């Protein structure tokens, strides 16, 4: 990309400032350059050099550069602080997850609190429990429905349908990130469950099991899949472009439903007797870490693409 000379850039900014004061059509160029090109180029110029160059070239009184740079530095400082806090929390969460994997691998049997949680959630039932031979409550039906939605067919088909729908609305980048997040979360679950190798609950432990699953128990794959899928969709639904949509209020019931579903999937794993409490909690923690990682990557790449497009528009007429 062609570099812009400092003097030329200052002339452009000066013209943009005059336009901004007179509110004509080129005022948008002032904002564009200030937000994108100015932070890259004028950062290399000292405050005194910038002010003297502005006065010598344009002869007009623009906005005080030291004040402008101070505001920009403050914004960048706040952004860096938020990023540092987010990274620190993510590392702490990853450390907790790693410690939990090691502890549960060395102690795969259910902990007392897990047995208590399973008995409270499942309630009274016959021991040994034959699920197919007893009447089902509405909670059993909901748990079985959630299990079906996360089966080998629908668990793959539903994310694909979401991606196709997003592509139809020209949200290509969002669809690709959604598919990548869900697919990679499945791969992460496979690696963790093989490393931890915790057995699933059995009827001999007094648990009523809805179905026998030939896989390990920690972390819960259903929880990871749904949190990453619907969590990323929730994040996109709160993005700036969606908030500006005049019919954005229509999404509110869907947002509430998605949040309730994310919470319900963990409960259903315990109610169906297919996981222990720590399996579900581990699934939530792993999914949240993975979700935030992909949200960070999405925001980072989106910002890079936006900066590149803005510079191309700004430099286009000068080429």
Note whether 165 and 288 are same-domain residues: yes
pLDDT of residue 319: 52
Instruction: State the Cα–Cα distance between residues 164 and 291, nearest whole angstrom.
Output: 20
pLDDT of residue 135: 74
pLDDT of residue 256: 94
Note whether 166 and 102 are same-domain residues: yes
pTM reported for the whole predicted model: 0.74
Note whether 130 and 261 are same-domain residues: yes
Domain-located, residue 72: no
Q: Count up the domains in the chain and report the number.
A: 2
pLDDT band at residue 307 under the 50/70/90 scheme: confident
Domain-located, residue 313: no
Instruction: State the Cα–Cα distance between residues 14 and 12, nearest whole angstrom.
Output: 5
More confident residue, 298 or 47: 298
Mean pLDDT value across residues 205-233: 91
pLDDT of residue 202: 85
What whole-number percentage of the chain has pLDDT above 90? 46
Note whether 108 and 171 are same-domain residues: yes
Which contiguous run of DSSP H or E holds residue 21? helix 6-22
Looking from the CA of 102 toward its CB, the CA atoms found within 13 Å total 6
pLDDT of residue 2 exceeding 80, the answer is no
Note whether 58 and 83 are same-domain residues: no
Tens digits of per-residue pLDDT, 88-144? 999 999 999 999 999 999 999 999 999 999 989 887 777 777 776 677 788 888 888
Q: What is the mean pLDDT of the chain?
A: 80
Domain-located, residue 70: no
Phi-psi region of 123 (alpha: psi -120 to 50; beta: other; left: phi over 0): left
Domain-located, residue 312: no
Note whether 167 and 303 are same-domain residues: yes
Tens digits of per-residue pLDDT, 28-84? 444 454 555 555 554 554 455 555 544 554 454 555 545 555 666 777 778 888 889
pLDDT of residue 281: 96
Note whether 238 and 267 are same-domain residues: yes
Instruction: State the Cα–Cα distance between residues 263 and 278, nearest whole angstrom.
Output: 15
Name the nearest CA neighbour of 261 among 95, 149, 135, 96. Answer: 149
| Structural domain for 38, as ranges | 6-63
Question: Helices in 197-276 by DSSP H: which ranges?
Answer: 221-237, 240-243, 251-271
Report in angstroms the alpha-carbon separations of 78 from 74, 75, 85, 256, 301.
6, 5, 11, 31, 20
Note whether 31 and 94 are same-domain residues: no
Cα-based torsion angle of the residue sequence 295, 180, 277, 273 in order, rounded to the nearest 10 degrees: 150
pLDDT of residue 180: 95
Cβ-Cβ contacts under 8 Å for 64 (sequence gap 6 or more) = 51
105: Cα separation from own chain's centroid: 28
pLDDT of residue 52: 56
Domain-located, residue 1: no
Note whether 49 and 112 are same-domain residues: no
Note whether 18 and 125 are same-domain residues: no
pLDDT of residue 16: 47
Instruction: State the Cα–Cα distance between residues 55 and 60, nearest whole angstrom.
Output: 6
Domain-located, residue 290: yes
Looking from the CA of 240 toward its CB, the CA atoms found within 13 Å total 2
pLDDT of residue 250: 82
Domain-located, residue 315: no
Note whether 126 and 156 are same-domain residues: yes
Note whether 126 and 56 are same-domain residues: no
pLDDT of residue 24: 44
Domain-located, residue 74: no
């Amino acid at each position: 990309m062609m570099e812009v000379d400092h003097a030329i850039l200052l002339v452009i900014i000066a013209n943009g400032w005059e336009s901004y004061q007179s509110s004509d059509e080129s005022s948008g160029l002032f904002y564009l350059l200030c937000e994108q090109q100015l932070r890259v180029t004028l950062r290399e110029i000292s405050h005194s050099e910038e002010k003297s160059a502005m006065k010598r070239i344009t002869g007009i009184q623009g906005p005080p550069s030291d004040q402008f740079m101070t505001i920009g530095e403050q914004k960048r400082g706040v952004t860096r602080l938020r990023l540092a806090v987010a990274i620190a929390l993510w590392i702490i969460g990853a450390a907790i997850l790693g410690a939990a994997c090691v502890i549960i691998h060395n102690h795969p049997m259910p902990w007392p609190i897990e047995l208590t949680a399973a008995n409270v959630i499942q309630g009274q039932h016959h021991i040994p429990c034959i699920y197919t031979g007893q009447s089902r409550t509405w909670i059993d039906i909901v748990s079985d429905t959630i299990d079906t939605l996360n089966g080998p067919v629908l668990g793959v088909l539903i994310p694909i349908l979401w991606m196709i729908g997003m592509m139809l609305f020209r949200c290509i980048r969002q669809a690709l990130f959604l598919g990548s997040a869900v697919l990679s979360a499945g791969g992460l679950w496979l690696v963790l469950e093989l490393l931890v190798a915790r057995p699933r609950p059995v009827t001999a432990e007094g648990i009523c099991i809805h179905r026998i699953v030939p896989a390990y128990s920690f972390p819960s794959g259903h929880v990871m899949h749904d949190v990453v899928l619907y969590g990323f969709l929730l994040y996109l639904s709160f993005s700036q472009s969606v908030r500006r949509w005049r019919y954005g209020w229509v999404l509110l019931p869907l947002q509430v439903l998605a949040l309730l579903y994310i919470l319900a999937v963990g409960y259903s794993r315990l109610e169906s007797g297919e996981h222990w409490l720590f399996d579900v909690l581990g699934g939530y923690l792993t999914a949240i870490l993975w979700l935030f990682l992909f949200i960070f990557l999405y925001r980072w790449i989106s910002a890079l693409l936006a900066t590149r497009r803005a510079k191309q528009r700004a430099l286009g007429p000068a080429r």
